């Protein structure tokens, strides 16, 4: 049912074991897509988890996922039996988006775009099992990355202090403990630092097509016609293995804590339990891996720009780097009392409002950059957080799928899609036509409607629209 007095907000009333309502942010145009999926059932299932507060939230890009819906946000009260669930983070821990702003405009790039895309196509590792650009000698070096994140990359010469200032948490999520990461996860992650992977991950060269808020855009380092690079990837096989390992451990442990869940994929334990602390430490390690991964790809991207367009073009500045698959311990006001919460954001990005103390000094007056990639071939957006910040200061993370990858393959041929994108002015460098077809624009929701809904619902507001001119995919 719609929530009176609020735009684009729908409520699932508590029934059965639900401890809180479900709240879905969706416009009338998006709601039929949401209602046809199992995603709403998952929203209701999440509302049954011990310690959950306020509501089980769903962003405008919500769709079916593992246990939690993708586009789901849920917070549990740590001091009141609140749980942590790997399903509320996902397998690709710290999957996130990084946006770089180049010191060139589209007009200045001109015919050199093909040369740039050729260079990126050669130097950006991607695909299943691909090697990375940062060659770590052994597991000991990897453990330093797991605990040091993007800062470890910068200390190894793969970045600057300026990069770290524009990363969520300064590029390092505290609480990481490499000792909580299993040997299989370490083996999977050792040779993949600095790689995109496959699926919906990409590196996209874009141009700022429209500026909605010139003052905030300037503070972010963006201007009309400027060329940008958006990088979307996460913690690769290491994060997937950590999730698998801890889901198994939690399923075995739940009975000891008298926890029952309506879906085995919601396996969880109290945050304060030994298993909960172990997962959060391993998850933080994977988060740091994801941040180091994007940092290493940043240096490779800068080198490609310098080689293709000239040395000065390689000085791309980091706008922001933010994860959208993470559980974080945060303080929030609940019923007039400040509480320590474990906030799960799965396919949802933090959207801190202006004035928030976790923002770097130069961004604090304007709010946090919220990076929202569209489907391949459509626009992406830069938003910013707003006061007060709904759903524990969270927002959408992308367009959201409406079609499974298998369904997309039945409807789209990779070669035809490649020709279509090239004809529309988007240079494509894909290692797999099958992978390209799986990510066809028609497999996703309308990004324009998703972003407009996000704005009307009070989750974030528009700063700039970015149009793709080149894409690198696995």
Q: What is the pLDDT of residues 298-334, one digit of tens each?
A: 999 999 999 999 888 889 999 999 999 999 999 999 9
CA distances from 250 to 64, 258, 417 (A): 22, 12, 42
In a domain, 338, yes or no: yes
In a domain, 19, yes or no: yes
In a domain, 87, yes or no: yes
As beta bridge partners, residue 466 has: 208, 380
CATH number (domain holding residue 284)? 3.90.1860.10
In a domain, 339, yes or no: yes
In a domain, 246, yes or no: yes
Please state the rounded mean pLDDT for residues 162-168: 97
Stated as kind and residue range, the H or E segment containing 123 is helix 113-123
Report the alpha-carbon distance of residue 260 to residue 264 in Å, rounded.
Answer: 9
Give the confidence band of 5 by pLDDT, cuts at 50, 70, 90.
low
User: In the β-sheet with 52-63, what is the strand arrangement from edge to edge?
Assistant: 9-12, 22-25, 52-63, 70-77, 337-346, 325-334
Number of domains, the chain: 1
* CA 248 centroid distance within chain: 24
What share of the chain has pLDDT > 90, as a percent? Answer: 85
CA distances from 190 to 75, 138, 146, 196, 284 (A): 32, 7, 11, 14, 17
**Residue with tokens 């052994």, as numbered in its chain:** 138
In a domain, 152, yes or no: yes
Report the alpha-carbon distance of residue 37 to residue 165 in Å, rounded.
Answer: 39
* pLDDT, tens digit, 9 for 90 and up, residues 228-239: 999 999 999 999
For 356, other C-beta atoms within 10 Å of its C-beta total: 17
Q: Is the preceding omega at residue 113 within 30 degrees of 0, hence cis?
A: no
Q: Name the residues annotated as catalytic.
A: 397
Please state the rounded mean pLDDT for residues 20-36: 85
Burial 111-137 (b: 16+ CB within 10 A, else e): eebeebbebbbeebbbbeebebbbebe
As beta bridge partners, residue 342 has: 76, 329
Q: What is the pTM of this model?
A: 0.96
* pLDDT, tens digit, 9 for 90 and up, residues 82-139: 999 999 999 999 999 999 999 999 999 999 999 999 999 999 999 887 789 999 999 9
Pair of tokens at residue 311: 């040395």
In a domain, 72, yes or no: yes
Angle at which helices 113-123 and 274-309 cross, to 10°: 140
Q: Who's near 333: CB < 8 A, 6+ residues apart?
A: 339
The range of the structural domain enclosing residue 177 comes to 9-199+234-350
In a domain, 28, yes or no: yes
């Amino acid at each position: 049912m719609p929530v009176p007095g609020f735009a684009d907000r729908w409520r699932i009333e508590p029934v059965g074991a639900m401890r809180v309502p479900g709240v879905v942010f969706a416009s009338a145009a998006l709601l039929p897509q949401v209602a046809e999926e199992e995603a709403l059932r998952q929203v209701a299932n999440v509302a049954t988890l011990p310690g959950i507060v306020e509501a089980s939230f769903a962003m405008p890009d919500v769709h079916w996922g593992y246990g939690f819906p993708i586009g789901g946000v849920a917070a549990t009260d740590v001091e009141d039996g609140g749980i942590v669930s790997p399903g509320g983070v996902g397998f690709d821990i710290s999957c996130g988006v990084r946006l770089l702003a180049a010191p060139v405009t589209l007009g200045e790039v001109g015919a050199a775009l093909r040369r740039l895309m050729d260079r990126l196509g050669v130097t950006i590792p991607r695909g299943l099992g691909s090697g990375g650009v940062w060659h770590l000698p052994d597991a000991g070096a990897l453990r330093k990355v797991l605990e040091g994140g993007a800062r470890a990359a910068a200390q190894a010469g793969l970045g600057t202090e300026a990069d770290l200032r524009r990363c969520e948490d300064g590029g390092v999520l505290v609480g990481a403990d490499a000792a909580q990461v299993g040997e299989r996860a370490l083996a999977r992650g050792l040779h993949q630092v600095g790689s995109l992977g496959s699926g919906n991950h990409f590196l996209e060269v874009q141009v700022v097509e429209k500026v909605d808020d010139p003052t905030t855009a300037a503070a972010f380092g963006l201007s009309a016609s400027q060329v940008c690079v958006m990088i979307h990837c996460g913690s690769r096989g290491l994060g997937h293995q950590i999730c698998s390992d801890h889901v198994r451990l939690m399923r075995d442990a739940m009975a000891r804590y008298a926890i029952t869940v309506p879906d085995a994929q919601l396996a969880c334990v109290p945050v304060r339990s030994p298993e909960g602390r172990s997962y959060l430490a391993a998850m933080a390690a994977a988060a740091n891996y994801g941040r180091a991964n994007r940092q290493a790809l940043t240096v490779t991207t800068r080198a490609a720009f310098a080689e293709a367009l000239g040395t000065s073009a390689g000085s791309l500045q980091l706008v922001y780097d933010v994860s959208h698959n993470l559980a974080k311990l945060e303080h929030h006001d609940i019923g007039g009392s400040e509480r320590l919460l474990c906030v799960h954001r799965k396919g949802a990005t933090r959207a801190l409002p202006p004035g928030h103390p976790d923002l770097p000094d130069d961004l604090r007056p304007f709010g946090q950059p919220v990076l929202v990639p569209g489907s391949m071939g459509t626009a992406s957006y830069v938003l910013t957080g707003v006061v007060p910040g709904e759903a524990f200061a969270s927002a959408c993370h992308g367009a959201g799928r409406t079609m499974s990858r298998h369904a997309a393959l039945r409807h789209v041929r990779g070669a035809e899609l490649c020709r279509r994108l090239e004809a529309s002015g988007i240079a494509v460098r894909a290692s797999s036509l099958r992978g390209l077809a799986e990510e066809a624009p028609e497999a996703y929701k309308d990004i324009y409607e998703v972003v407009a809904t996000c704005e009307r619902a009070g989750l974030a507001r528009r700063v700039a629209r970015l149009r793709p001119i080149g894409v690198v995919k696995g």
